[in-house]
Structure 1
Amino acid sequence: MHPSLITMIAVNGVAFRRDDKVVFTEARPRLRALDDIPLPSWNLFPLASYLDNGYGFGVNRGRSMPILATRGCPYQCTFCSNPTMGGTRWVSRDPEQVLAEMLSYHKQYKIDNFDFYDLTAIVKKDWIVRFCNMAIDCGVNFTWQLPSGARSEAIDSEVSELLYKSGCRNMSYAPESGAPSVLKRIKKKIDLRDMEKSMRAPIRNSINCKANILIGFPNETHAEVFQTLWFTVRLAAIGIHDISFSPFSPFSPYPGSELFSDMRKSHLITDYSDEFFYVLSAYTDITKTTSCSQHISNRALGFYRIFGMLMFYGMLYMIRPWRLIRTIRNVFGERQESRLEMSLRDLYIRLTKSKQAAAR
C-alpha cells in the first residue's frame, strides 16, 4: 500500500480509491461550537461578479449575500439528503454573532439583502425573537429572506411582526404536499391546517410567502396529486404569493436521501450517469418533466404542473387583482418580489435580446 493511503486511512471523513475499490473512512464528528468557526474569507472570492449581477438564492432585492445561522435539521423527510449530510441535530449560532456578520458585510460590500441558506432556520421561537429584536434595536437598513423553507410551529403573529420589523421580506414554507397520505410516507411531520393558520400571520404583516410543493413522489396517485392541487387553491385564497422554485416542482431523487436509496434498491434507478444528474437539475424545464411514480406518466405530471400553476395564480389574482398590477410593474422594474416575477423578468429579457439579435 502506498504510504499516502496509509495516512489517509487515519483521516476521518474522506473517501479514496485503493486498487479497484472505493474506501470510506469513519465519519468526521460534526462541530457543535459554530461560533468558534472562522467567518468566510470572502476577500479570496470574486464577490463583485456575483453582487453586481444580482445573483442570489432568494428573490432579487439588490446586492445579496448568503448567510448561515444554523446547521442540521431535526426532521427526517425521506426526500431530503440532510440526515446523511448535515445531520438531524439542529445547532445554532449566537444570534448576536449572526447579526454582527451581516452588519459587517452590509458596511464592507454595500449589501442590500441577505439570503439565509439554513435548511430550517426557525426551530426555536426564542432564538428568532432574540435575533429580530437585536436587528430592530440596531435599526438595520437591509432586507433578509428565508428562501429554503421554514417550519410553521414557531411562526405566529408575534414572530411575524418581529420578522417584518427586522427586515424580513420573503420567506418560504415547506408543506411539500397537500395529501396527508403522501406526507405520512415521506415522513413530513406537519399538520396542514396548522400550517395554513401559521401562514396567515406573515401575510398579514406584508411578508411575501412562498410554499414549496412537490408532485410525482414514488407511489403517488392521481387522486393524491389532486389533493395537492386543491391544497394550493386554498393557499391562493389565504394569500400565499408563490409556489415552489418552478411550476409545481417534480420530485427528484437526491443522492443521499432515503427515497433515493429505496429507488436504487428497487432498481427504479439504474442509470447513475451524467444524464441522471442532468435530469435532477432540469426540474424547472416542464418539457423535461420526469415522474418517479409508477401511477403517473411523464406527460401527465407535466400537465399537472401547468394546470396547477394556472389554477394557483388564476385564483390568487382573481381574489387579489391588485397583486397582478404589482407583478406587471415589478417585471419591468429593477427588483422583483416573488419567484414568478423573477421568472417573467428573465423571460422578458430573453425575448428582448432575441428580438434585438434578429433585428441586426
Structure 2
Amino acid sequence: MRIGDAFSLFANPEPDSDRVITLIAPPVFFSKNSYSTPLTLPLGLAYLAAALEKAAYKVKIIDCRGADADNVRLTPDGRFNMQGMDIKKSIKAIDPKTDIIGVSIMFSQEWPQVRDYIKQIREAFPDASIIVGGEHPTAMPEYSLRDCPAIDYVVRGEGELTLLDVVHRLRTGSVVEEVAGVCYIANNVFIETSISARMADIKEMPRPAWHLIDVEPYFQPNFTMGISHGRNMAMLATRGCPYQCTFCSSPSMWTTRYVMRPVSDVVDEIEDHVKEFGANSIDFYDLTAIVKRDWIIQFIAELDRRNLNITWQLPSGTRSESLDEEVIQGLARTGCEYLVYAPESGSKRTLEMIKKRVNLDNLEKSIRIAVKNGIITKVNFIIGFPFETRREILETLRFVLKLALIKVDDCNITMFSPYPGSELFRELYEEGAIGEIDDEYFALLMTQFDFTIARTFCRAVNPWEIVLYRVAGMSLFYGLSYLRAPGKIVRLITSVFRSRFQPHSLFEQRIFDFAVRARRTLLEKKAAS
C-alpha cells in the first residue's frame, strides 16, 4: 500500500465528531547519580500526530518532558530522577473527550515508572483504548502487556501506518486484531500478528506536527542532545540502520531496511525550521545518518547551492566508511559542527564478535581528517561484553588514549548492558545469565550515565574492575585532551559563568548542564529556607 493511499483508506469515519486521540510523551526518568540528561524533542510522536491529522483525526499531544523541563526531582522511592510535568497534572491535561490514548516508550530502563504512569491513566480513563509503541514495547510486547494489563494494544516497529489502521478500526468497530504489527492479550493468550511492512517512500509522510507541541522549552542552552546553539531543531533524514550489531535493538524495531529521504526534501525542511522557529542548528536524530556516499555528496551540494548558513550536527553516531576527505571537507564547509563516530571497541576480535563491521585504521584516518577540518568529534565505546577479556578491554582503552592524542574532543565509555530486542539480550536470557526480568533488571539499564553501578555480564573480568577501567579511560582521555590544549581549561571555567555560554565540546555542554542544575537546586533550597 502506498502511504498516500493509507490516509484515504484509514481516514476518520466521523470527521464531525469531537472525539480526540491524545498522544503522550511521559516524563524522563534517569539515575539520580547521572552526569548527563539530554532532553530530546518527541520527534516520533510528532510524526504519528502528523499522520493522524493527515487522515482528518483530531489529535492532541501532551509532552510531559518539555512542558516542565526545569522540574527535575526524585521519584517517590528516591532511587531515580524524573524530569518534566507532574504525573497527576499531566493526566488532568488529557482532554475529557479522548477515546484513544497513545503512549511512547522508547527506553526500557524507564519501563517501571512509565508502566505505573499508564496504570494511573487507566484509572482516570477506564473506557479509553490505550496503545503503546516505541523501542521498548516492540522488543518486549508480551512482557509489557502482562506487566501492565492497562494496555490494550502494542504497536510494533515503525508505527504511523499501523496506528492509522488501528485507530480507524477502533472508530468503525472493526476487528483490530487483524492489523499487521499489533500485539495484544486475549483470554490470557498473547497474540502477535505479522510484522508490518516498512514504509518505502517516506517523502509521502507529512512533516512532524510541531504545532501541537511547545518547542520553546527545548531551546534552553542546558538541555540538548548535541552542542547547543540556543535554537537546535530535531530532524530525521533517514530511517533505520542496515547493520546488525549484536548489542543493538535497532533490527527489532526497524528491521535492517534503510530508507533515505530525497535530499531536496530534507533541505526544504531545514529551510522551514529556520523560517518558522528561527532554528540556528539542526540535530539529526538518525540511527545511522551517513551510509550512502552519493546521498551525502548530494546533500552537501544542495546545502552549498542554497547557502543556508546554518549549523548542523550528527549527535547519534554514524559510520566512517563514507567519511573520506572530500566528504568531510564538504561537511565542514556546509556547517557540520559536531560528528559522532561509534567504533564501540578498539579490539578487532570484539568488533567481529559484535558484528560491528568497521576498520579501525580507516576510522582513525577519517577522525584525523575531521579534527583537521575543525569539526567537533566524539567517539563512543562499550566495554565489558560477555565474551571480552581483560586484554581486549585494554586494547579499547589504548585506542581511546590514541584518539585523545590526536585531539578528538569527546569520548563516552559505557559498560555493556543487555538491551531488550538485541541479539546479545536474547542469548544471555536464554542461557539464564540475566535471570528474572523485573524492575531491578530495568534499573540495571541505567548504567549508561551512572558510575556507581557495577553489575556487568562479562565472564572474565570483575564488575568493579570494569568500572575502574571506565572511569580511568574517560579521565585519562579528558586529562590528555585538555593538557594538550590548556587554553580549553581557561575557556571552560570562564565561559560557564558567562550569561551566554557557548560550548565547544559535549563535555563542556554537560559541565554547563550540571552547573545550571546545581545552581537551580541551590536557589530552590534558599527560597524554601
> TM-score normalized by structure 1?
0.93
Residues 11, 170 of structure 1: alpha-carbon distance in 2 compared, 3 angstrom cutoff: same
* C-alpha deviation, 1:55, in angstroms: 3.4
Task: Tell me the distance in 2 between the aligned counterparts of 1:20 and 1:233.
Answer: 54
Question: Which residue of 1 is the match for residue 502 of structure 2?
Answer: 335
Question: Which residue of 2 is the match for residue 76 of structure 1?
Answer: 244
Task: Tell me the distance in 1 between the aligned counterparts of 2:331 and 2:363.
Answer: 17
Question: Which residue of 1 is the match for residue 360 of structure 2?
Answer: 192
CA-to-partner distance for each residue in 1:232-288, whole Å, 9 max, x for gaps? 0111112211012xxx11112111110111111111112322332222134211012
Larger radius of gyration: 2
Residues 354, 92 of structure 1: alpha-carbon distance in 2 compared, 3 angstrom cutoff: closer
* C-alpha deviation, 1:53, in angstroms: 6.1
Q: Is residue 221–residue 230 contact of structure 2 (8 Å, CA) maintained in 1?
A: no
- Give SS of 1:243's match: strand
Question: Which residue of 1 is the match for residue 471 of structure 2?
Answer: 306
* C-alpha deviation, 1:159, in angstroms: 1.0
Q: Is residue 221–residue 296 contact of structure 1 (8 Å, CA) maintained in 2?
A: yes
- Give SS of 1:17's match: strand
Task: Tell me the distance in 2 between the aligned counterparts of 1:93 and 1:30.
Answer: 14
- Give SS of 1:182's match: helix
1:237-252 superposed matches below 5 A: 237-244=405-412, 248-252=413-417
* C-alpha deviation, 1:61, in angstroms: 2.2
User: Counterpart of 2:358 in structure 1: which amino acid?
Assistant: I
Q: Is residue 15–residue 22 contact of structure 1 (8 Å, CA) maintained in 2?
A: yes
Task: Tell me the distance in 2 between the aligned counterparts of 1:199 and 1:113.
Answer: 22
Residue 175 in structure 1 maps to residue 340 in structure 2:
no
User: Counterpart of 2:302 in structure 1: which amino acid?
Assistant: M
Residue 148 in structure 1 maps to residue 313 in structure 2:
no
- Give SS of 2:449's match: coil
- Give SS of 1:172's match: strand
Root-mean-square deviation (CA), in Å? Answer: 2.0
Task: Tell me the distance in 1 between the aligned counterparts of 2:225 and 2:417.
Answer: 19
1:7-86 superposed matches below 5 A: 7-52=175-220, 55-86=223-254
Q: Residue 118 of structure 1: which of 265, 286, 290 is its match? A: 286
- Percent identity of paired positions between Structure 1 and Structure 2: 38
* C-alpha deviation, 1:174, in angstroms: 0.6
* C-alpha deviation, 1:356, in angstroms: 4.6
Residues 317, 56 of structure 1: alpha-carbon distance in 2 compared, 3 angstrom cutoff: closer
Residues 329, 152 of structure 1: alpha-carbon distance in 2 compared, 3 angstrom cutoff: farther
Q: Is residue 169–residue 207 contact of structure 1 (8 Å, CA) maintained in 2?
A: yes
User: Counterpart of 1:179 in structure 2: which amino acid?
Assistant: S
Residue 159 in structure 1 maps to residue 324 in structure 2:
no
Stretches of structure 1 that go unaligned for 5 or more consecutive residues are none
1:204-219 superposed matches below 5 A: 204-219=372-387
CA-to-partner distance for each residue in 1:302-359, whole Å, 9 max, x for gaps? 1111111121112222323333333334434422222211222133234434555666
Divergent runs of 4+, >6 A: 3-6
* C-alpha deviation, 1:59, in angstroms: 2.1
1:197-346 superposed matches below 5 A: 197-244=365-412, 248-333=413-498, 334-346=501-513
Task: Tell me the distance in 1 between the aligned counterparts of 2:378 and 2:458.
Answer: 25
> TM-score normalized by structure 2?
0.64
- Decide which moves more: 349-358 or 49-58: 349-358
- Give SS of 2:217's match: helix
- Give SS of 2:271's match: helix
Task: Tell me the distance in 1 between the aligned counterparts of 2:514 and 2:218.
Answer: 20
- Give SS of 1:286's match: coil
User: Counterpart of 1:300 in structure 2: which amino acid?
Assistant: E
Task: Tell me the distance in 1 between the aligned counterparts of 2:197 and 2:503.
Answer: 41
Residues 180, 121 of structure 1: alpha-carbon distance in 2 compared, 3 angstrom cutoff: same
Question: Which residue of 2 is the match for residue 99 of structure 1?
Answer: 267
Q: Is residue 54–residue 64 contact of structure 1 (8 Å, CA) maintained in 2?
A: no
- Give SS of 2:343's match: strand
Q: Is residue 282–residue 288 contact of structure 1 (8 Å, CA) maintained in 2?
A: yes
- Give SS of 1:60's match: coil
User: Counterpart of 1:256 in structure 2: which amino acid?
Assistant: G
Q: Is residue 332–residue 345 contact of structure 1 (8 Å, CA) maintained in 2?
A: no
Task: Tell me the distance in 2 between the aligned counterparts of 1:212 and 1:100.
Answer: 31
Residues 54, 110 of structure 1: alpha-carbon distance in 2 compared, 3 angstrom cutoff: farther
CA-to-partner distance for each residue in 1:194-243, whole Å, 9 max, x for gaps? 10001111111100000011111112122111111100011111221101
Task: Tell me the distance in 1 between the aligned counterparts of 2:226 and 2:440.
Answer: 27
* C-alpha deviation, 1:42, in angstroms: 0.7
* C-alpha deviation, 1:189, in angstroms: 0.8
User: Counterpart of 2:290 in structure 1: which amino acid?
Assistant: I
CA-to-partner distance for each residue in 1:161-193, whole Å, 9 max, x for gaps? 111121110010010011111111101111111
- Decide which moves more: 184-193 or 310-319: 310-319
Aligned length: 355
Residues 157, 324 of structure 1: alpha-carbon distance in 2 compared, 3 angstrom cutoff: farther
Task: Tell me the distance in 1 between the aligned counterparts of 2:224 and 2:204.
Answer: 26
Task: Tell me the distance in 1 between the aligned counterparts of 2:339 and 2:177.
Answer: 43
Task: Tell me the distance in 1 between the aligned counterparts of 2:260 and 2:495.
Answer: 35
User: Counterpart of 1:242 in structure 2: which amino acid?
Assistant: D
Task: Tell me the distance in 2 between the aligned counterparts of 1:326 and 1:189.
Answer: 38
- Decide which moves more: 161-170 or 312-321: 312-321
